[in-house]
Amino acid sequence: MEEFKLQHRHNLHRLHCSVKNYDWGLPGRLSEVARLHALNSASQFDPEKPYAELWMGTHDSGPSFLVSNGVTLKAWISENPDVLGDKVLQKWGSDLPFLFKVLSVAKALSIQAHPDKELARTLHKLQPVMYKDGNHKPEMALAMTDFEALCGFITVKELKAVLHDVPEIVELVGVENANLVLQTSDQDSEEKVKAVLQAVFTHLMSASRERVTDAVNQLKSRLLKESEVRQLTDKEQLVLRLEKQYPSDIGVIAAFFLNHVKLNPGEALFLGANEPHAYLSGECVECMATSDNVVRAGLTPKHRDVQTLCSMLTYKQGSPEILRGVPLNPYVNKYTPPFEEFEIDSCILPQGETVVFPAVPGPSIFLVTVGKGTMNTGSPQEHIVTEGDILFAAAYSEISVTSSSELHLYRTGVNSKFFQAS
C-alpha cells in the first residue's frame, strides 16, 4: 500500500471531456459549457448552436479521455484500478462512482425523476434502449449563476390554494379528485396524504392530449387577461414562460404542483431517487452517481413514461433543503449531500495565494473555470492550469494549487462521510 501511495503521488492527469448539444442548452455565445469545452478541447464553438452539458467522468454516453495517450478514462482506470483507492474499489468496482457535469440551461428540462437502484435494475432489464444502465442517480446542482428549478411537491395546504385558484386543474383531475385534496388535513397520516397526492397527480399526468391542449390554452388566455388588471404571481409568470417553450404540454400545468426553487450562485440543491424535478434556467455544476437513467413525463418532446413516473415518486412534500456549503478554509467551501457517491468543493483563490487539497482515500476530478495558476502533487513536475482545464487526481494525492490570477475551480470526489463510515 505504501509503495502504491508513493508510486501514484504524482498522479494528476489532464482530460479531454465530452459535450452534449441538447436543444434546451444555451446558444454557444452565451454558454459556459460551450466556452469551457472549446478551451478544454482547443476547438471552436458554434455561437448559435445550443450547448447543454459538459460531462467529466467514465459514463459510456459521454466519455472522458486522457490527454497523454488518448485512452478513455474508463479504460485507463480499469487497467490501473489502484488509482481509485481500496475502499472505492471494494464498494463500486473499477469505475468512478460519480459523474461530474457543467450545465447551461436556456429552457426547461423535462419534468423527470431518477429511479432508485432496484427500479433502475428492473427498467434496464425490461427496456435497455430506454434505460441505459442499472444504477440509481441521486444528484446535486451547485449554482454558478442565478439558477431556477422545479423540485418536489408543494404542501397540501398550498395545493388546496392552487385548486381554488386554478380552475383548469380541477377541469383535468375532476371534481371528485379535487375534493379528495380539499378534504385532506394536516392531521391525516402521511400515508393517506401521499395516496391522495399520487391519485390526483397520476390523474393529471394521464389526461388525454386534447384535454391537456384545451386546458393549457384556457389557462394561458385567462392569465393573459388577468395580467392586465393584477400582478401575476411568480408561479403564474413561470407557467406562461413554460407554455411558450412547450405549448400544449401537461408539464405547464404540473408545474403548479411543484416547488419553484431559486438558487443564488454558490447555493446547491440535492435530489434523491424518485423525486420529481425540472431545471428551468441558469448555469450550474452538477454531480451525480454514474448513471443516465431518466423517467420523463412532461415538458419534453422525448419519450414519456407517465405510469412509471407516477408510481415511483415518493410524494414527499415541502420545500427542498438548500445547501450553502461549509468553509474548509478561507478559499474552499464543501457541499456534502446525503449520498455516498459524491461531494463538491468550490474554490475561489485570490491572485498569488496557495491552497492545499489534502490527500483523500478516493479519486477526484478538478475543473478550472476562471483564471490561471499551477497545481502540483509534491513532485518536481508542476502543472500549469488555466480555465477549461480538467484533471483527474488519483487517491492519496495531496494537491497544492497556487494562483497567478484570481482562480476559480471545482473539485468533485467520493463523499468524505463514506470514508469516515467505512
Detail the residues annotated as belonging to a binding site for Zn(2+): 112, 114, 139, 277
Q: Is 304 tagged catalytic?
A: no
CA pair distance 283, 53, nearest whole angstrom: 10
Let me know: does 310 contact 207? Beta carbons within 8 Å. Answer: no
Instruction: Give residue for cell 454558490.
Output: 266
Q: Residue 25: which residues within 8 A CB-CB, separation 6 or more?
A: 31, 33, 50, 51, 52, 53, 104, 105, 106
Q: Which of 85, 58, 95, 100 is closest to 395 using CA atoms?
A: 85
Q: Give the annotated binding-site residues.
A: 112, 114, 139, 277
Nearest to 390 by CA among 363, 371, 409: 409
Residue 370 dihedral angles phi and psi, to the nearest 5°: -145, 140
Contact residues for 417 (Cβ-Cβ < 8 A; gap 6+): 336, 340
Phi, psi dihedrals of residue 165, rounded to the nearest 5° = -95, -15
Q: Name the one residue in this structure whose C-alpha cell is 448555469.
A: 283
Helices H / strands E in the chain, number of each:
14, 25
Quote the cell numbers at residue 376. 502540483
- From the list 35, 209, 222, 296, the catalytic residue is 296
Residues tagged active-site: 296
